Structure 1
Amino acid sequence: MKTLSIFFIASLTFFQGTAQDYYFPERNANWEEITPKEAGIDSEGLVDVIAFAKANEYSGSRDLRIAILEGFRREPFHQILGPTKKRGGPAGMILKNGKLVAQWGDTERVDMTFSVTKSFLSTMAGLAIDKNLIASVDDPVKKYLWDGTFDGRHNSQITWRHLLQQNSAWQGILWGGKDWADRPPREGDLDDWQYAAPKTPGTVMEYNDVRVNVLSYSLLNVWRKPLPQVLKEEIMDKIGASTAWRWHGYEDAWVEVDGIQMKSVTGGGHSGAGLFISAKDMARFGLLFLNDGVWNTERLISSEWIQDAIAPSKPNVNYGFMWWLNKKGPRHWEQVGEDVYYAAGFGGNFIIVDRAHDLVVVTRWLEPSKIGEFMAKLTKTL
């Protein structure tokens, strides 16, 4: 018991010391700025980094309805099912210890953020774990949903962990989306894709928005209130986010819960919908994770959840609970630390957490293939 108390006091002291090092901007206040020199960043190199971001804008149409249809044209039956919005130009922010070192573009513009939404969605699962609404990520989801979504020999094996790591191989149709038609293999045809034997849950990562939306639907049933409301009350209001962000679902994704009609939101913008948000609000979310789930002095997300969320999954060392990890593997950014993790979305949207350097980086509409080079350039300035 004495040893435990000493460990607790030491941990608390470390936490308090860490928290005092960070700045947490108030809602609608001017973000406190520091110079690159004060941040320990080479100013000339930083100018080059920002110029690189501006010069490498995502090549897809600024009309995101067109960009989505073009980007996913090889998928059978793909269509727009939720709202879209024309986007702005390249934008971004770099924070050191929470303070603003640099920004470019319109950081207050609300744009679609596509699969960055997944990292917000996984946080809704983390809060459910923290509040004991879900006992364990290794529980089968059928224990919580008995409406047929997880019936059958295959789907009944699926756990929350499988859904969070995108290796569930869930089979079915949700809101008109067929699991097998979402990002099908490069080879084969409709019959090959539709009738292929499913993978064993937990063995193969398959990036699939239908299955991500199954997670969202499942969490809606656990929380028994709309996930945007949960996000607002539990996270965004507490970190001083603006009131401009929105989280959308597909047009027909209505669910009756406790006699009330609620919208089940999506985990991305693959068919429209998802989180519409500004770079500044994205940066606040990243800062919350940089500080291990604590905003100022209030813990919003447990440290245990964050550690689980950024632990590599067995099928993919570069993927945790809907956060990408810069571990040595197929998606590793060379010359960038392995403890870096990030949220990533279609069109070049990123929230990057660099714990070793106390940095949060947000980039918007950067050509996705250039993000590794961008981060390598930034790392060289430190």
Structure 2
Amino acid sequence: MALHHPPAEGAWARIDAREAGFDPAGLERIAAYHRAHESEWPRSMYHSNGEYVGTAYIDEKPPYNTVIGPVKERGPPAGMLLKGGRIVKEWGDIDRPDMTFSVAKSVLGVLAGLAVARGLIRSIDDRVADYALDDGFAGAHNAQITWRHLLQQTSEWEGALWGKPDSVDRNRQAGPGANNAAKGDDRALSAPGKHWEYNDVRVNRLSLSLMQVFRQPLPEVFDAAIMAPIGARDWIWHGYFNSTVEIDGRAMESVSGGSHWGGGFQIPTTALARFGLLIAGEGCWQGRELVPQSWISQMLTPCPVYPVYGFMWWLNTDGALYPSAPHDSVFALGAGNNVIWIDRANDLVMVARWVHKAHIDGLIAVVRDAMR
């Protein structure tokens, strides 16, 4: 089936359930399952005791749980299912911009590819210190860190950024069997490239380093290169109240790689679906290469240290991430939970907003069961 790219204006093409290979009754069960397994997070994003859910869910302690970026109330469950780029099913308010948490990390992975394509980063195995406009990579340990290390979350970068030390996320885990009982406990650092750790301070360091390479705010780069060409609108990407720096005489806000402390993407389901469709099409949109196919391939290659992770994208290597999904599936994932699922084997893209974390695989299974 030829890949359809929706126009920037006008109706998004739809496809009949049977033509798309789905049982119509099975399709109805997808939205019903999602609604029955909504995220446990409060709609306000704050618990009754005043704790922000973005830090409370990982039991972060004061003073590092302080919110330093914008927070928006979340909406109810919403989603879209595409076959070959055409809408098979949608549910909820798909036009509502909502926070997306670590889906922003996957955007950073794409922006790194643009920097490579433009020659702003000569090689992802170059030391980031050679590109830095500050002293964040000074010292024997940090000087060894390459762009590849930052992109794979194996950098072991040591320091503080925007008032948050990297130690706040030491011992933090994500993915299959994640256990965060030791999150924030000190540990000896490994050599860069030898240890995988889900560390939001280090991801924010990647974001700042990319802005220094582009010498332009990342939302401007992303909009001009990706979002405007694919017709994705009504989104905004926040940094923090204290993350503005000056480059070439211009004040620029360094955006966050998630919403751990507030900030991050606020974006509609429709825009996420367009972004997912771009990745499903290996970086091409309406015959135009927006992201090099070679970069998409690198970005979705398993990290040797942690094979369910690529360059800021989640991989279903050997079915370890979500057993119900094909093994070549790839995901952009954000807490709460926000999901872009790209099923390359079956030409599907699904976006699901605010699904209970324990039921993401169940939702995938319902989609699979609906396929004839």
| Alignment TM class, shorter chain as reference | over 0.9
Aligned length: 358
**331-340 or 228-237: bigger deviation:** 331-340
Query: Which residue number in structure 2 is paired with residue 87 of structure 1?
Result: 74
Which consecutive residues of structure 2, in runs of 5 or more, have no partner in the other structure? 47-51, 173-179
Instruction: Please give the alpha-carbon distance, in whole angstroms, between the structure 2 residues aligned to 1:95 and 1:146.
Output: 42
Structure having the larger proportion of residues in helix: 1
Q: From 320, 336, 339, give the equivalent of 2:325.
A: 336
Matched letter for residue 380 of structure 1: D
Matched, 1:159 2:149: no
- The letter for the 2-side match of 1:371 is I
Q: CA–CA distance in 2 between the matches of 1:336 and 1:318?
A: 13
Q: Which deviates further from its counterpart, 354-363 or 143-152?
A: 143-152
Tell me which of 195, 206, 213 is aligned to 1:215: 206
Q: Distance in 1 between matches of 2:315 and 2:353?
A: 19
Structure-1 separation of matches of 2:195 and 2:325 = 26
Q: 1 CA distance for matches of 2:3 and 2:322?
A: 26
Specify which of 43, 46, 59 is matched with residue 24 of structure 2: 43
CA drift of 1:112 comes to: 0.3
Letter paired with 1:100 = I
Alignment of structure 1 residues 235-250 onto 2, 5 Å: 235-242=226-233, 244-250=234-240
Once residues 56 and 345 of structure 1 are traced to their aligned partners in structure 2, the CA distance between those partners, rounded to angstroms, is 16
Return the offset for 1:70.
2.4
**Structure 2 CA distance, aligned partners of 1:44 and 1:81?**
45
Alpha-carbon distance between aligned partners in 2 of 1:220 and 1:264, rounded to the nearest angstrom: 7
Q: TM-score w.r.t. structure 1 length?
A: 0.91
Tell me how far apart the structure 2 counterparts of residues 24 and 212 of structure 1 sit (CA, whole Å).
31
Closer, same or farther in 2 for the Cα pair 1:60/1:131, shift >3 Å?
same
Post-superposition CA distance 1:30-58 (Å, at most 9, x none): 21111111101122222112211111000
Q: Matched residue of 1:379: which SS?
A: helix
Provide Cα deviations, 1:163-217, integer angstroms capped at 9, x if missing partner.
Answer: 0011111000000011001264656697x51xx3212111111101100000000
Matched, 1:53 2:34: yes
- Over 3 Å counting, the alpha-carbon distance change for 1:265 and 1:188 in structure 2 is closer
Structural mapping, 1:97-112, within 5 Å: 97-112=84-99
Cα offsets for 1:2-37 (capped at 9, x unmatched): xxxxxxxxxxxxxxxx8xx11111124221111111
* Mapping of residues 353-364 of structure 1, within 5 Å: 353-364=342-353
1:305-352 Cα offsets, whole Å, 9 max, x none, are 0000100001111000010001126x4222321110010001010111
Which residues of structure 1 form unaligned runs of 5+?
Answer: 1-17
Aligned counterparts of 1:237 and 1:187: Cα–Cα separation in 2 = 42
Please tell me whether the aligned partners of residues 96 and 360 of structure 1 are also in contact (alpha carbons under 8 angstroms): yes
**Are the aligned partners of 1:75 and 1:184 in contact in 2 as well (CA < 8 Å)?**
no
Aligned to 1:10: none
Q: Does 1:200 align with 2:225?
A: no
Deviations 1:134-167 (A, max 9, x none): 0111111011015211011110110001100111
Amino acid at match of 1:368: K
Cα 1:75–1:130 change in 2 (3 A) is: farther
1:305 aligns to 2:264 (yes or no): no
1:379 lines up with 2:368 in the alignment: yes
What is the SS of the residue equivalent to 1:30? coil
SS across alignment from 1:114: coil
Distance in 2 (CA, whole Å) between partners of 1:163 and 1:75 is 25
What is the rounded CA distance, in whole Å, between the counterparts of 2:213 and 2:230 in structure 1? 24
SS at match of 1:343: strand
Equivalent position of 1:284 in the other structure: 274
Conserved? CA contact 2:169–2:183, under 8 Å = no
Q: Which moved more, 1:143-152 or 1:300-309?
A: 143-152
Report the counterpart of residue 7 of structure 2 in structure 1.
26
Asked whether the equivalents of residues 72 and 78 of structure 1 are also in contact (C-alpha less than 8 Å), the reply is no
- Distance change >3 Å, CA 209–CA 36, structure 1 → 2: same
Greater Rg, structure 1 or structure 2? Answer: 1
Give the alignment partner of residue 368 of structure 1, picking from 348, 354, 357. 357
Q: Identity of counterpart residues, as a percentage?
A: 44
TM-score normalised over the length of structure 2: 0.93
User: Paired residue for 1:68, among 49, 54, 71?
Assistant: 54
One-letter identity of the residue aligned with 2:199: N
